[in-house]
A and B are shown apart, each in its own frame.
Chain A
Amino acid sequence: MTAYIVRRLFATLPVMAVVALFVFFLLRFAPGDPAAIIAGEDATAEAISAVRAKLGLDRPMVEQFVVWTSQLLRGDMGVSIFSNLPVTRLISQRLEPTVALTLSTLFVAVAMAIPIGVLAAWKARKLVDRLVMGFAVLGFAMPVFVLAYILIYFFAVKWQLLPVQGYQPIKEGLWPFVQSLILPSMALGITYMALIARTTRASMLEVLAQDYMRTANSKGLATNRVLLLHALKNAAVPIVTVIGIGIALLISGVVITETVFNIPGLGRLTVDAVLKRDYPVVQGLILVFAGAKVLVNLIIDISYAFLDPRIRY
């Protein structure tokens, strides 16, 4: 197992190198010019050229790439073209809100999805199953921003129970922190809940049809015990896979939720940086996202061995 983990960690290096190469050149080939944005509305073409020259953006692309990669190898992601702040500082400022939102969303999604997925499988093709799956389809089909605005309207504007927007770091207190995450987690969590619930149901149905389940039932074991200990554990591999994919998607894909609820996370930083053509920030973020995805996939693979002893690496 250790050799496998080490091998997988080394395998991330070429992946990151390819990502770095692609992101650097894709950004440079995309239309847009940060110098024009910095120079502002009333800047002349000459003023824009002067800014471009000072930022080093007029140098050959390969030269810029060499400068960037050499910085990267020294652990330096560069500085934002706009704010002049280190990219690592910008990313670290935004990490906590995104991680908090990701984990709280997963908590909401998993806490709701697994019980209703198990319930739907247990009561397959009955009214409960149809209601649960109907709810799951609705949750999956509804765009996050629509649900977000509905939640904001009722819980924040109409009833004034929760804030409309913003994020409170945990150091400001547990309640303000939780309060700022309730609506975003609900809005985002419903979609993932639907995905996990459907996977749980499908996986459970497969397991429940196995001979050993019939044996467990015929031995007179309690339903709870049969469902949770015998069936759910054996159905866990696909569920964990979906949850893992969810983590990876959430880390890089919470843009809409962060925008609607004004959470200063990595998703919004990415969109802002792309719109402003803040190359060093976009490059740094893509590398972080790629690294996170590789890491999450690794953790999922390792977890398979614990969930299913037949799996060996």
Chain B
Amino acid sequence: MFKRIFAGALALAVPFVAGPALAQEKVLKAVMHADVRVIDPIWTTQTIANIHGALIYDTLFGNNADQKPQPQMVGKYEVSPDRLTYTFTLRDGLKFHDGSPVTTKDVIASLKRWGAKDGVGQRLMGFVTKMEPVDDKTFTMVLRAPYGMVLESLGKTSSSIPAIMREKDALTDPQQQVKEAVGSGPYMFAKDQWVPGSKAVYLKNKDYQPRTEPPSSFAGAKVPGVDRIELVWISDPQTAMSALINGEIDFYEAPTNDFLPLLEKARGVKLMKTGKIDSTQGFIRLNHLQPPFDNVKARQAMYYLINQEDFLRAIVGDPKYYKVCPALLTCGGPYESAGGREWMKEYNPKKALQLLKEAGYKGEPITVLSATDHATITPATQVLIQAMREAGINVDAQSMDWGSVVSRRAKKDPPAQGGWNIFVTTSGGVGSANPVLHTWIGAACDKGLFGWPCDAKIEELRNAFGMAQTEEERKKIANDLQARAMEQVVYIPFGQWDTPLAYRADRIDGIVPNTGLAVLWGITKK
């Protein structure tokens, strides 16, 4: 009764006070995992900045859903018989959003900027001796030694993508953010409508000429299927879920695992896992510079504290969305291997403590950076702390927000002086599937990521993987690499899980199968 009275009152009121009729443009409203605050995908490795970048910038190559590189801006390319010289020719019709044509000057400047900042780019540029334009559409890339990951690197679908910018933007210092976001991709950034922390708007690039192949992740046709994309930021997951159920948004990139059962039952809503290896891998990073984990035996002792099921149940809950995966390279990925898995066969806290003592641990506090505001890292850290306490380890749990963890983990000082021993984090399944793209598996000492594992053999194997010529060779190296990395405990995995995206099946269509960053081109409104 009340509903009818209220609805009637509203219906009577609407004609008198309704706003201007909306234009009949097709708008995709998508809620992503974070808000767009940075417009330069090279300046930051933030995933959301790269999703933004992938909408407005194009790339020379695009890895497809099977992670095989396919030409995207490139029309044709040749590799010299000695595999040292790559000649790339841009396809016809490439134009920036300001109308200027894309030339090899733009491309070379963009690749140099990306190669100075991105880890995969730096590795590639380590092989490149020069890049020179032949003309406006053709350029060469000369290597000092054959490198088997040239095209995969140029087509990478994880942060940071090798976005092709205008030369004047690409000449910006890589440590500074570009001022304008003008690309040649399927959508144009509407900077004047951008409200950081709330909404980022993208308009269809009517001049964009997509490829003719079927779309697959970053490869094939990038068809701008709607007139306008609004990346709406809803920070509260409950509100975002309700908004999707209510039809106020069309696409929800990363619903919280707790809400998946509700979304499964919601009318008009579908859940979808886009790619085979799209997943998240959770892991524990130990500080190799500070005792007790500067001793490999102490690091290996920590394996006995990990029962992956405990972590995965705390984070995800429903087993259909998670997978026990005692490996560093993504389970289900092309280089999934058995190397080193024997380290994670037993959960035994007593043995962990005994091994720690044998490694010289005398009950000193072990500082764990405990994030309190992260949907997955927070529960995982709590499970770890509980396991450590059960083993009798003296845990100094330092509670802080994720922003503080990110800041503090960069400190190499002893824990008592603001440093740390352990933090928990996650990595994307796509990046973790490839030994070169997977930066957390590296052991480049001071030049590596936080925790600073240092092992020449691991780095040799990663380089060898990049230079391998056959798939068999790569698989063999990946297996050896994982075995060595697990022996050295570059990190301790605690499982792998999927976060399917949710969308209004009654309103949108054409979601492109993808692996890596979310792909929004191709989506059409019914």
Interface status of A230 (Cβ within 8 A of chain B): no
CB-CB under 8 A from B119, the residues of chain A are: 42, 44
Closest 8 A/B residue pairs (Cβ): A173-B19, A40-B45, A264-B198, A33-B407, A175-B17, A82-B37, A83-B196, A174-B17
From B91-99, B212-220, B232-240, B510-518, the one touching the partner chain is: B232-240
- Among A47, A50, A163, A262, chain B packs the most CB atoms within 10 A around the CB of A262
Docked-complex contact A277 and B403, CB < 8 angstroms: yes
Docked-complex contact B239 and A83, CB < 8 angstroms: no
- Among B10, B248, B373, B406, chain A packs the most CB atoms within 10 A around the CB of B406
Interface status of A39 (Cβ within 8 A of chain B): yes
Contact check: which of A157, A161, A163 meets B3 at CB < 8 Å? A161
Docked-complex contact A275 and B401, CB < 8 angstroms: yes
Q: Name the distance in Å between A195's Cβ and chain B's nearest Cβ.
A: 25
Q: Name the distance in Å between B16's Cβ and chain A's nearest Cβ.
A: 8
List residues of A (145-189) whose CB comes within 8 Å of B's CBs: 149, 152-153, 156-157, 159-161, 163-166, 168, 172-178
A41 CA to B197 CA, complexed, in Å = 19
Docked-complex contact B406 and A42, CB < 8 angstroms: no
- Among A46, A84, A172, chain B packs the most CB atoms within 10 A around the CB of A84
CB-CB under 8 A from A53, the residues of chain B are: 175
Q: Name the distance in Å between A89's Cβ and chain B's nearest Cβ.
A: 10
Docked-complex contact B19 and A175, CB < 8 angstroms: yes
Docked-complex contact A156 and B439, CB < 8 angstroms: no
Docked-complex contact B18 and A276, CB < 8 angstroms: no
List residues of A (2-55) whose CB comes within 8 Å of B's CBs: 31-33, 36-48, 50-51, 53-54
A24 CA to B401 CA, complexed, in Å = 20
Interface status of B245 (Cβ within 8 A of chain A): yes
Docked-complex contact B45 and A164, CB < 8 angstroms: no
Docked-complex contact A33 and B406, CB < 8 angstroms: yes
Interface status of B408 (Cβ within 8 A of chain A): yes
Docked-complex contact A39 and B45, CB < 8 angstroms: yes
Per DSSP, chain A at the interface is helix
Interface status of A85 (Cβ within 8 A of chain B): yes
Q: Name the distance in Å between A257's Cβ and chain B's nearest Cβ.
A: 11
Interface status of A93 (Cβ within 8 A of chain B): yes
Given contacts A45-B410, A264-B195, 9 further A-B contacts (CB under 8 A): A36-B403, A36-B406, A42-B440, A176-B18, A178-B17, A259-B239, A260-B239, A268-B197, A277-B407
Known contacts A43-B45, A84-B177; is-contact A276 B403 (Cβ 8 Å): yes
Q: Name the distance in Å between A85's Cβ and chain B's nearest Cβ.
A: 7
**Chain A residue with the shortest CB-CB distance to B118:** A42
Q: Footprint of A on B, CB under 8 Å?
A: 3, 6-7, 10, 13-14, 16-20, 35, 37-39, 43-47, 49, 117, 119, 159, 173, 175-177, 179, 194-199, 232, 234-236, 238-240, 242-243, 245-246, 248, 373, 400-404, 406-410, 412, 425, 427, 439-440, 446-450
Docked-complex contact B246 and A160, CB < 8 angstroms: yes
Interface status of A206 (Cβ within 8 A of chain B): no
A46 CA to B452 CA, complexed, in Å = 12
CB-CB under 8 A from A269, the residues of chain B are: 197
Known contacts A31-B400, A32-B403, A159-B3; is-contact A260 B13 (Cβ 8 Å): no
CB-CB under 8 A from A44, the residues of chain B are: 119, 447-449
Docked-complex contact A161 and B175, CB < 8 angstroms: no
A172 CA to B14 CA, complexed, in Å = 13
Contact check: which of B10, B117, B410 meets A36 at CB < 8 Å? B410
A38 CA to B402 CA, complexed, in Å = 13
Docked-complex contact A40 and B44, CB < 8 angstroms: yes
CB-CB under 8 A from A156, the residues of chain B are: 242, 246
CB-CB under 8 A from B410, the residues of chain A are: 33, 36, 45, 48
Docked-complex contact B447 and A82, CB < 8 angstroms: no
Contact check: which of A31, A51, A84, A175 meets B408 at CB < 8 Å? A31
What 1/0 flags go to A261-287 for Cβ under 8 Å of B?
Answer: 110100011001001110000000000
Q: Name the distance in Å between B266's Cβ and chain A's nearest Cβ.
A: 10
Known contacts A262-B235, A268-B235; is-contact A54 B176 (Cβ 8 Å): yes
Docked-complex contact B238 and A149, CB < 8 angstroms: yes
CB-CB under 8 A from B17, the residues of chain A are: 173-175, 178
CB-CB under 8 A from A176, the residues of chain B are: 18-19
CB-CB under 8 A from A160, the residues of chain B are: 246
Docked-complex contact A47 and B117, CB < 8 angstroms: yes
**Chain A residue with the shortest CB-CB distance to B409:** A36
**Chain A residue with the shortest CB-CB distance to B246:** A164
Known contacts A45-B450, A93-B195, A173-B20; is-contact A32 B407 (Cβ 8 Å): yes
**Chain B residue with the shortest CB-CB distance to A38:** B44
A201 CA to B382 CA, complexed, in Å = 48
A45 CA to B47 CA, complexed, in Å = 19
